[in-house]
Chain A
Amino acid sequence: MSATTQTDAPARADRFDRRTALPIFTKSLSDGWRSVVGWSIGFAAALSLYLPIFPSMSGNSQMQDLIDSLPPELTRTINYQQIDTGAGYTQSTFFGLMGFLLISIAAISWGAAALGGDEESGQLELTLAHGVTRVQVAFERFAALTLKILALALVAFLLILFWNGPAGLDLDIGNLVVTCLIFGGLALVCGSAALLCGALGGRRIWGIGGGAAVAVIGYVFNAIGNQSVDLEWLHNLSPYYAAYGNAPLANGADVWTVVLFYAAALVLGGLAAVTLRQRDVGV
C-alpha cells in the first residue's frame, strides 16, 4: 500500500511546479542583490569624493609638502608615500584604504552570514532537512559570495574607469583590471575566512571574528612591515601586502598573484564545506 505513493507518483506527475537550477546559489543572489547595490553606492560615494580632487593634489606642491611634513611612520602606515601619481593616489586612497575597508566589511558580513549566521538564526536546519547536501549548500553559497564580491570589484573598475580621464589619473587599463581582480580576491579571502569560521562555530560572530582577523592582521602586518627592514618579514604573513606590496596599479602584477588569492579562497570555501559536513547543526 505504501508503495503506491512511490510508484504512482510519476504517473500523475504530469504537472509539477518548475524547479530552479542551483537553488541555493540563486536564492543567495536574490537575497543579496540589494546589499550589493548598497555597497556599490558606498563605492561611488568614496570614489567620487577622492578621485576628482586628484588634479588639485598632484600639481600642488603644498600638498606634497604637507605629506612630507607628516611623520614618515604615519605616511608609511597609510601608504601615502606615492600620492603624486594617479596610480599611487588611487591605490593609497581607494584600493589600500577606503575601498579595502568597504569591500572587506561587505565580504566578511556576507561570509559570516552565509553559514554561521544562517545556522544561528535557525534557518539552516530547515534547509539541510531538504533535498540538498551540506557540501552543496556550502559551495553554492561560496559561489554566490564570490559573484557578489566580483560584482563590487566590477563596480569599482567601472567607476575608476569613468574618473580616469576627467581626474587625469592616467591609469593603465590593464593594470586597473588586474588590480580590481586582486582587490576582489583579497576581499574574497577575508569573506571565505568568515565563511569557514562561521561554519566552524555555527555563529555569525565567529565568522566576523575570523574574517576581520585576516583583514586587520593583514593590514597591520603590512603597516608594521613598512616601518623598517627588521620588520619586513611580517610582509610574508600579510595577504594585504601580497595584494598591494608591489603596487599592481602602477606596475601590474603577474597572473599568479591573482590566481593565488582565488585559489586560497577556494581552499577556504572547501574547508568550510568539509567542516559543515562533519558537524551537528543547530545545537
Chain B
Amino acid sequence: MTMNSSTGIGIEAVDLVKTFGSTRALDGVSFTVPTGSVFGVIGPNGAGKTTIMRALLDLIRLSSGRASLLGTDSRNAGPELRRRIGYLPGELILEGRITGRRLLRHYANISGPVQAGRIDELADRLGLDLDRTVRTLSKGNKQKLGIVQAFMHQPDLLVLDEPTSGLDPLMQQEFLSLVREARDAGQTVFLSSHVISEIQQVADEVAILRDGRIITVSGVEALRDTAIRHLRMSASGIDVADLHDRLFPLAEVGELEVLPTDTGAEATAILTGALSPFVRAIASLTLTDLVVEEPDLEESVLRLYSDANAQPARQGLGR
C-alpha cells in the first residue's frame, strides 16, 4: 500500500484541525500536493506552517482531520513511511559536541539508505566543512547540515520548514537548485517560508496561510499578477500638486500620499499590476530617491480576499 505512488498524490491533507488548549492552531486546512511537484506555504509567523509540518510527520496529533503522505495515513505511520521522507525542522537544533560528519552518519543510520558519497557531494555543493565540530559552525552552516540530512537519502517526499533561513543568497540559490533537481527526479517537495521571494522561484503552487487557515492556493504566476508593491519616492524641482497629478491618474497607483520636501516633493503609494505606466510617468523627473519594495504577495492576497468575499474581517486582517 505504501509503495503505491502511482496515485500521484504526494500529500493529501483533509480538514486538518489542531487545538492547543484554547488556541486553534489549525482551523480546517485542506490541500493536495501531486507527486513530483513543489508546494510552498507562506504566511506570517504563527500562521500554522510549522504545525502543519509537525502534524504531517506525526510529531503532533491532529484534533481532527486526516493527512496521508505518499498514500499512507500519517497518523501512527511506521518508520517505513518516514524513511521515505526528508524533514528539516524550522527551529533546527543539532547536537553540538560531534563533527558534522558523525552527526550525519547517525541520521543516516535512522533514515532511508544513503548512497555512498552522497553526503560529501551535498556538502561540497553547499560549501560545508563536515569535519568541524557542529557547535563551532555558524547558523548558516548548521542549516546546511540540516539540509544535507533532509536530502541525503533522496526521499520521495521532502518537508522543509523555512529551509533557507540563515543561508546567504548564493547558498539560497544552490538550495533552490537542489529543490529543482529533486522535483525533476520525481520527488515531492513541501516547503514553507514567511517570504514569498524564495518560494516563488521554485514552487509550482503556493498556499497562503493565515491564522490556521489556507486563504488561497494558486500558481505563482497568478499570485504575482495580483502583487502589490510599496513605493516610496522623492524628486526635486517639483511641487506637491504636480507630483500628485502625475501619479494619481495611474490605474496602478493607490493610497497615494504626497508631501513637500526641502527640494521638491515625496510620495508614498502602493503599486498593483504592471510597472511600466508608472515608470513612464516618472521618467522625466529628477529623482532623489526611489524605493519599490518586493511584492508582498501575502498582503495582496489578503486584500483581494477581503475585497472579493466581503467577508467579515478576520482578526488581524484589519490591522
Contacts and interface: CB of A to CB of B under 8 A. Distances in A.
A2 B186 contact: yes
Interface stretch (A76-84, A129-137, A239-247, A263-271): A129-137
A255 interface: no
Contact of B110 (A15, A16, A31, A132): A132
Contacts of B57: 128-129
A23 B110 contact: yes
A6 B5 contact: yes
Chain A interface size, as a band, is 35 or more
B156 A6 contact: yes
Interface residues of B, number: 48
A281 B114 contact: no
Interface stretch (B89-97, B125-133, B195-203, B288-296): B89-97
Q: Is the interface of A mostly helix, strand, loop or mixed?
A: helix
A281 B59 contact: yes
Interface stretch (A38-46, A119-127, A160-168): A119-127
A230 to B, nearest CB: 47
Q: Which of the listed residues B35, B59, B78, B105 has the most CB atoms from chain A within 10 Å of its own CB?
A: B59
Contacts of A131: 79-80, 82-83, 110-112
A129 B86 CA distance: 8
Contact of A128 (B59, B115, B188): B59
A24 interface: yes
Nearest to A23: B109
Contacts of A122: 89, 91-93
B116 interface: yes
A280 B113 contact: no
A126 B89 contact: yes
A174 interface: no
A12 B57 CA distance: 28
B277 interface: no
Contacts of B109: 19-20, 23, 27
A5 interface: yes
Given A133-B78, A280-B61, A5 B111 contact: no
B186 A5 contact: yes
Interface string A17-54: 10110011001000100000000000000000000000
A126 to B, nearest CB: 6
Nearest to A126: B89
A19 B108 contact: yes
A171 to B, nearest CB: 39
A3 interface: yes
A123 B82 contact: no
B65 to A, nearest CB: 15
Contact of B116 (A17, A133, A282, A283): A17
Interface string B221-252: 00000000000000000000000000000000
Contacts of B105: 17
Nearest to A6: B5
Contact of A2 (B5, B89, B119): B5
Interface of A: 1-6, 9, 12-13, 15-17, 19-20, 23-24, 27, 31, 121-123, 125-133, 136, 280-283
18 contacts: A2-B8, A3-B186, A4-B185, A4-B186, A5-B154, A13-B115, A23-B106, A23-B109, A31-B95, A126-B89, A126-B149, A129-B82, A129-B87, A130-B79, A130-B82, A130-B111, A131-B82, A283-B20
Interface of B: 3, 5-6, 8, 10, 20, 35-36, 54, 57, 59-61, 78-80, 82-83, 85, 87, 89, 91-95, 97, 105-117, 119, 149, 154, 156, 185-188
Top 4 A-B residue pairs of the complex, sorted by shortest distance between their CB atoms: A122-B93, A2-B35, A131-B83, A23-B109
